[in-house]
């Protein structure tokens, strides 16, 4: 049986309120995503859990398919950090399937989303 998990990975901030936004987003996604055994959040800097912490938790829980969603607008160096971390886990856990999605800025329709949002707020 496939046990699928989703991790939303954000930069992390020194501001606790910013980190709480990611926690709330992950919690809201938990209710919107069906077919996932677990929905988690992780950060790259300034706060915990780190991506490695979260991957450790999921591998210990027996999850066999992990989708990592980089919550970033551009393909900067942190996207490479995420891919590097996930690659290490792929080497250690051959029985688990890992998928790192594209960053938000590369999603089809992002321009329409921004234009619609600006229209609504102006």
Question: pLDDT (tens digit, 9 = 90+) per residue, 49-83?
Answer: 999 999 999 999 999 999 999 999 999 999 999 99
Rounded distance between C-alpha atoms, residue 98 and residue 115, angstroms: 33
Q: How many domains does the chain have?
A: 1
CATH of residue 57's domain is 3.40.50.1400
Q: What is the pTM of this model?
A: 0.94
- Residue predicted with more confidence, 56 or 35: 56
Q: Which residue from 63, 18, 70 is spatially nearest to 44, judged by alpha carbons?
A: 70
Secondary structure (3-state) at 98: strand
Rounded distance between C-alpha atoms, residue 78 and residue 5, angstroms: 21
DSSP E strands: which ranges in 4-57? 4-10, 38-43
Expressed as residue numbers, the domain containing 36 is 4-121
Using one digit for the tens of pLDDT, what is the confidence trace for 94-104? Answer: 999 999 999 99
């Amino acid at each position: 049986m496939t046990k699928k998990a989703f991790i939303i990975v954000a930069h992390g901030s020194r501001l606790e309120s910013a980190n709480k936004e990611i926690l709330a987003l992950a919690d809201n996604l938990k209710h919107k995503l069906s077919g996932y055994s677990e929905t988690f959040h992780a950060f790259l800097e300034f706060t915990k859990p780190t991506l490695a912490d979260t991957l450790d938790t999921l591998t210990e829980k027996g999850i066999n398919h992990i989708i990592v969603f980089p919550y970033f607008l551009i393909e900067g160096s942190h996207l490479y950090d995420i891919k590097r971390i996930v690659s290490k886990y792929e080497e250690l856990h051959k029985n688990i399937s890992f998928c790192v999605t594209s960053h938000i800025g590369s999603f089809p329709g992002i321009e329409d989303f921004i234009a619609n949002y600006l229209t609504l707020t102006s």
